[in-house]
Amino acid sequence: MTSNFISVVFLVIFTTLNGIAPAISQPLYTFIAQTSAEDFNRRGMEKIKSRDFLGAIEYFNQAIALKPNYIAAYFNRGFARIELQDFTGAIEDFTHVIKINPGFVKAYYERGFALIELGKYPEAIEDFTQAINLDPNFGDAYNERGYAYAKQKNYQAAIADYNRAIELIPENPIVYLNRGNTRIALGDKPGAIADFQKASDLFTTQGNMALSQQIQQLIKKLQQE
C-alpha cells in the first residue's frame, strides 16, 4: 500500500511588540506555528513508520477533525486499523475514501484485504475487481482476488488470477506460494513443487533465508508423499 505525504506549511505570524519593556530598543518578533490537518497527517505517518499504530490513529483523528473530508487521513487511518486488526473500522475508513473519490484504486484494494480478513470473500472479490477495472496492471489486486477465489474453492479462477499476477509482479514470492497451494488443492503436486521452489528461490534472493528454508522443508515433505 502507498500513502500520501503532504508537505507541511507553517504559518509564521510576526507580531511586533512595542513599549512592553524599556530595555527593548528593537522590535520583538514572535513566530507562531499553526498546526494544520496536513501536519497531523504527517505526524501520523511518522507513527506508522515506528509501528505506533494507536498513536498514528490519534493524529489521523485530529487531522480529520480539522478537515472532515481529508482523504489521506482516512486512508492512512484505515491502514493503521488493519495493522491493529480492526478490520471493521478499516472498512469504514476506506468506504469513506471511496465515497469522496470513487476512483481511488488502492482504497478498493485495502478494503478488499480487510474483507478477506473478515471472511467476506464475495465482497472482497467485488472490490479487487473494481481495483483491476481502474488499474488493469495492478498485480497485487490479481493476487488477492485469486486468494479470495481459492477460499471459495473456485480454483480455476484463482489460478487464472495468479498467472496474471505473476506476469505483472514476477518477483513476488507470495504469488507463487498462493498458486502452489491452489495447485495442491487441484491435485497438481509437480506444479505445486515448482511454484514452491520458485518462491523459495525468490526469498533467498531477497535475503529471507528463514522462509526459504521453511519452504524447502515443505517441498521435501511433498516429495516423500
Which residues are CB-contacts of 167 (< 8 A; sequence separation ≥ 6)? 139
For residue 34, what pLDDT is reported? 63
What single DSSP character describes residue 28?
Answer: B
Instruction: Please state, as a whole number, how many other Cβ atoms lie within 10 Å of the Cβ of residue 66.
Output: 15
Predicted TM-score (pTM) of the model is 0.82
**Residue from 83, 22, 18 nearest 48 by CA:** 83
Helices first, then strands: H and E counts in the chain: 11, 0
| pLDDT in single tens digits along all 225 residues of the chain | 433 322 222 222 222 223 333 333 333 333 334 679 999 999 999 999 999 999 999 999 999 999 999 999 999 999 999 999 999 999 999 999 999 999 999 999 999 999 999 999 999 999 999 999 999 999 999 999 999 999 999 999 999 999 999 999 999 999 999 999 999 999 999 999 999 999 999 999 999 999 999 999 999 999 998
Burial group, residue 94, by CB count within 10 angstroms (0-12, 13-18, 19+): buried
Collect all residues with Cβ–Cβ distance below 8 Å to 163 and sequence separation of at least 6. 179
